[in-house]
Amino acid sequence: MIILGLDPGLGTTGWGVISSEGNRLSHIANGQIKTDPKMQLASRLLKLDLELTDIMLEYRPDAAAVEEVFVNSNPQSTLKLGQARGVVLLGASRSGLEVGEYAARAVKKSVVGVGKADKDQVQAMIKILLPGVKLAGADAADALAVAITHAHLRGAHRGR
């Protein structure tokens, strides 16, 4: 199964593609979609949608996994994050993909074993779980962690 992990954000959306065969995981690709803050909101969301579509067409995932929104202290930031997340969910769903949604704490627990793990711990475990991976950035690492979580939990997720 090919899994596309997504860490949505208006400024930067991280993405990561892995293969899951039984308990064996392997890295396929990862990257970041960046939008220019000087662009209008609608144009930024369109850029996110178009680039995500290109990624899905190139890698042909069987499933997608998206990190859930956390409530930020800044309501405007939370709203923008929610809009980017909506574009990501719509794009994956429009492609007919099974979409799993995971809280950041669940992702950290799945990858590191501790729900309060920091970013360095998550990245270190990704490098162990996906040997030879070259991370395109922190958001791409988070997206790979979401994909790994989906690979680990998809049996339980299907039962919902």
Of 129, 128, 104, whose CA–CA distance to 116 is shortest? 104
Q: Which residues pair with 18 in a beta bridge?
A: 3, 27
Residues taking part in catalysis: 7, 67, 139
DSSP 8-class letter at 72: P
**Of the candidates 82, 85, 28, which has an alpha carbon nearest to the alpha carbon of residue 52?**
85
| Residue 9 burial (10 A CB sphere; 0-12, 13-18, 19+) | buried
